[in-house]
Amino acid sequence: EAGVTQFPSHSVIEKGQTVTLRCDPISGHDNLYWYRRVMGKEIKFLLHFVKESKQDESGMPNNRFLAERTGGTYSTLKVQPAELEDSGVYFCASSQEDFNEQFFGPGTRLTVL
């Protein structure tokens, strides 16, 4: 069974540009989460999808971040325009009905210059 995949693995952009991150969850997992780890800090929750619906987006930093999950399969996280403080590793995770075991992807390392 394939795990959670994320693309790209690394992205380096300049301040003000736009970046779109993609996450493909484990097949059949209705729950999809985005988390972010900024250098030296804890992994922080961004938002949670159940199928195509946003269940909880309380962790989204501001309106420069837009997450979608069309058709309840893969998800994208767009940052527009990117700021320096958006640099970090963005993790995606998915789970079945029981939320306690979340399967994480390898992350996308975003660097904003």
Q: Which residues bind another protein (CB under 8 A)?
A: 3-4, 31, 33, 35, 41-45, 48, 50, 55-56, 59, 89, 91, 95, 99-107
State the minimum distance, in angstroms, from the CB of residue 84 to another protein.
20
Supply the DSSP symbol for 28.
T
Write down the least CB distance from residue 56 to another protein, Å. 5
Shortest distance in whole angstroms from residue 38 CB to another protein = 11
Nearest CB to another protein, comparing residues 82 and 105: 105
Nearest residue (CB) to another protein, 56 versus 85 = 56
Residues 6 or more apart whose Cβ sits within 8 Å of residue 70: 52
Give how far Cα 91 sits from Cα of 1, 42, 44, 46, Å: 19, 12, 9, 10
C-alpha to C-alpha distance for 74 and 84, rounded to whole angstroms: 27
